[in-house]
Copies of this chain bind each other. A is one copy, B any other.
Amino acid sequence: MKERSRTKFTILGMLSHSPASGYEISKRIETSTNYFWAESEGQIYPALAQCVKDGLATCKEEKANKGQRLRKIYTITAKGQKTLKDWLRKEPQNTLFRNELLLKLFFGANINDSDNLHHLTNHQKKLENELATYEKIKERLLQQAKKSSHLKYWLLTLDYGSKITKAELAWCKESLKLFNRE
């Protein structure tokens, strides 16, 4: 029943890279796992507090630089490391995949194909932008994290993103042909 939320583990994972504030964790998620795992700030802050309560992380108020305001910097504890590892070893659960575009196309016979076509063209544009983003992130990673022990794993998930996006693009183009032919 309880404890189905994986916010805690996402946080611990981010802290396993290096200590960070809630705000920074939120930004890291936005610029890394966001395309396959998103978390909102409304979840992160309470979960962080819970991690400290459970002894999975410690909190220290610090100033990043002189003259800057206080930030709460969280560090993962040994217990947190163990909790994270145990979870990582467990079989991943299938998770929600909900695609509204597909749902609309599934019922597409109810509207004009020009409308369906329109959805597809828009989607194609989005996909092209996504693909470009993945390329940029890859470049950034190869420069900034060249020696990180995490690089290999980051590239793996990034590669998933670009491979799947390319396949989606191929599907998109083929589907567009289908509608234009008629």
A-side interface residues toward B, CB under 8 Å? 6, 9-10, 13, 16, 32-33, 35-38, 81, 84-85, 87-89, 91-111, 115, 119, 122-123, 149-150, 152-154, 156-157, 159-160, 163-164, 166-168, 170-171, 174-175, 178
Contacts and interface: CB of A to CB of B under 8 A. Distances in A.
Given A84-B110, A108-B156, A110-B84, A37 B103 contact: yes
21 contacts: A13-B103, A13-B107, A16-B107, A33-B102, A33-B103, A36-B98, A36-B99, A36-B103, A37-B99, A37-B106, A81-B110, A85-B111, A87-B104, A88-B107, A92-B123, A93-B100, A97-B97, A105-B156, A106-B153, A156-B178, A160-B168
B170 A156 contact: no
